[in-house]
Amino acid sequence: MALPSPKNHALELSDTFIGPTTAIEKILAKRWAEIIEIDEVGIHDDFSELGGDSVLAAQIVSEINNIFSLKQPLQTLFEAPTVAKLVEFVLMNETQPGHSDKVANLPDEN
């Protein structure tokens, strides 16, 4: 018996879906969705429950470090496994107050 794909699993979570509202939440949710290859990520969706694994975690943490000029270890995503918790983590670890909000509000060049 095959495991359900992450897309199918994300659909099961949709009854509790709360979408991103802040600029930082929107960036993180968008990147998670792209890397995990699902349509959308809610701010309270758990990374592992969405099909995330250590390889995808490494990609997400690398992306977060690049976007927000951080130097966080892979363990970060396992300590803050939702977008909401990760936003708190990003804000607590930013190099200058307001830096993350400023970066998140820049036009997306991709």
Provide the pLDDT for residue 60: 94
Cβ atoms < 10 Å from Cβ of 7: 13
Provide the pLDDT for residue 27: 94
Domain map (residue ranges) of the chain? 19-104
Cα 62 to Cα 53: distance, rounded to the nearest angstrom: 14
pTM score: 0.79
Structure token pair of residue 86: 């990760």
Tens of pLDDT along the chain (110 residues) come to 554 444 444 444 445 789 999 999 999 999 999 999 999 999 999 999 998 999 999 999 999 999 998 998 999 999 999 999 999 989 988 878 887 888 888 776 44
33-42 long-range contacts, CB within 8 A, separation 24+? 35/59, 35/60, 35/63, 36/6, 37/6, 37/7, 38/6, 38/7, 38/10, 39/7, 39/10, 40/10, 41/10, 41/83, 42/13, 42/16, 42/17, 42/18, 42/83
User: Which of the 8 DSSP states describes residue 95?
Assistant: S
Look up the CATH superfamily of 19-104.
ACP-like (1.10.1200.10)
User: Which of the 8 DSSP states describes residue 100?
Assistant: H
Provide the pLDDT for residue 9: 46
Provide the pLDDT for residue 110: 43
Q: How many CA atoms lie within 13 A of 38 on its CB side?
A: 25
